[in-house]
Chain A
Amino acid sequence: MNEQAPFTIEQFYKYINLGKLMGGKCKKCGVIHLPPRPLCNKCLSKEFEWVEISQKGKLLTYTIIHVAPPQFEQMAPYAVGIIQLEKGLRIPGMIRDIEHEEIEIGMELTVNFDTSAVPSQWPQWPRYYFKPTHPQ
């Protein structure tokens, strides 16, 4: 992978487009930032390396959104949650491919990638989402 790529949110989503969940590891104190940051919030270093994060996670908490902003109105109700990944990392995202009644805290979810609807104007970001690791 490209060591020179900047440690930015823009670059994080470029990796998502390639089907990779990438974080920035601080070369000084070892902390991993997901999303990456240009300045370590622990030790203020700006030396990082990219590390690939496992797509396996566990659901920490979730909700079913019924009242949505305009661009999501057609999808409602939809589920979103925060998942726990390796090394204490967490990210929020939509939970798809599961009946809402079957969602439970602690269940194993896998990060998947949806690059089908990248906008033509800013922000040209794809979306990742979570789906059950062991479908029923």
Chain B
Amino acid sequence: MLKGKPLVSIVSAGLSKFGKLEGLYAREIFAQAAKEAFDRCPNLDPKKEIQALFVGHMGESYEHQGHTGSTVADWAGLLHIPAIRTEAACASSAAALRAGIFAVLSGLFDVVMVGGVEKMTHRTTSEVTEFLAMASDFPFEQWHGITFPGLFALMATAHMHKYGTTEEQLAMVAVKNHHNGSLNPKAHMQKEVTLEKALSSRFIAWPLKLYDCSLITDGASCLIITKPEIAKKYTDLPIHIIGSGQASDSIGMYERESLTSLTAAKISAKQAYEMAGVKPEGIDVAEVHDCFTIAEIIAYEDLGFCKPGEGGQLIERGETKLDGRLPVNTSGGLKSKGHPVGATGTAQAYEIYLQLTEQADRRQVKDAKIGLAHNVGGSGATAAVHIFRRE
């Protein structure tokens, strides 16, 4: 029915530095991202025109601070507008983006800010491991010592067994994403890694090693979205969101249909592609949820970039590199740009926004017109896919 009709338009976007932001708390980091979005859009008066805020934030445990909506709205200088937090684990800010889309489509609001934030690095790795695990099933997964890297390792082992995917192919995802991240001045870890170094790094959850894991990162991201009809008032180059899908699955991985694919991601992709009237072949650039290298390989398959089981070969052929047929995670991905969980969904959208407006600098993909973002919550109990198009 919609077939490519813009749902909303992005007129501006902001991203804080990603990394270990010592001494800064979530609300202060969000203010950095908001400020960039304000400055990027001089035709918009944020205080007068932004009418609501939706912010993804996964955990109150990190800072002993919940009630994130109001907190960050105030710190972003947007006191008194309605503001709420959305939570869907690592897909919290894709959920915020969807809430913003619904809010604009409802006709109630014309201009809305969506975003996400997480402050993680002041905690020990063991504490972070525990907080992250809260997004998995408590009575059967956490209770038996299963961690997040552990859950994705269970999928990696199953994928390797079923399809012959190799540790080298997993490491190639890390090498690619670290290369892209080395070109992104906002990335957490801006350095290249060799295949040998990735392969010889220590085990976190066998068969996943240090370089198969995303980073524990502080960061925030945001977008300013409007009704498509008024977008030109704010920018000459609005980016339209033309497809949005989201689905859920059993919280416990053991109850899901597959151990080598995320059903929720496949359903959301189908919804988004249909709404956008776009096929996988039509995507020019994508940001996918590489919380672990295996997750990027599974994402290729779930998004239809290749057939089930062929994700390992796709990376091996170099097709998803910056200069490949379909560049994936040009930002460096969660692996190298970093994964402040609540901020990730809209940070992916931010990168697609830069790519489609030709502001991606040294990592610019030539002639990119249609982009896709794939955000996964937890081990796959939530997934959301968005498709973006320039005019």
**B-contacting residues of A (Cβ < 8 Å)?**
9, 13, 35, 60-73, 75, 77-78, 80-82, 90-94, 105, 123, 125, 127, 129
Contacts and interface: CB of A to CB of B under 8 A. Distances in A.
Interface of B: 125-127, 129-130, 133, 139-147, 149-150, 153-158, 161, 202-208, 252-255, 259
B129 A62 contact: no
Nearest to A62: B157
Contact of A123 (B143, B158, B252): B143
B154 A75 contact: no
B207 A63 contact: yes
A68 B206 CA distance: 12
Contacts of A91: 140, 254
- Shortest 10 CB-CB distances between A and B: which pairs? A63-B153, A69-B130, A64-B206, A61-B158, A72-B145, A90-B254, A61-B157, A92-B254, A61-B154, A69-B129
Given A80-B144, A91-B140, A67 B252 contact: no
Nearest to A80: B146
Nearest to B140: A92
B147 A65 contact: yes
A92 B141 contact: yes
B214 to A, nearest CB: 13
A60 B147 contact: no
A75 B205 contact: no
B340 to A, nearest CB: 19
B127 A70 contact: yes
A127 B147 contact: no
A67 B139 contact: no
B254 A82 contact: yes
Given A65-B153, A82-B253, A92-B144, 12 more contacts: A64-B205, A64-B206, A65-B145, A65-B147, A65-B205, A66-B205, A82-B259, A90-B255, A92-B253, A125-B143, A127-B143, A127-B144
Contacts of B156: 63
9 contacts: A66-B206, A67-B125, A67-B205, A68-B145, A70-B126, A80-B144, A82-B253, A92-B154, A105-B161
A26 to B, nearest CB: 15
B145 A94 contact: yes
A126 B142 CA distance: 13
A67 B149 contact: yes
A99 B103 CA distance: 55
Contacts of B130: 69-71
B294 to A, nearest CB: 11
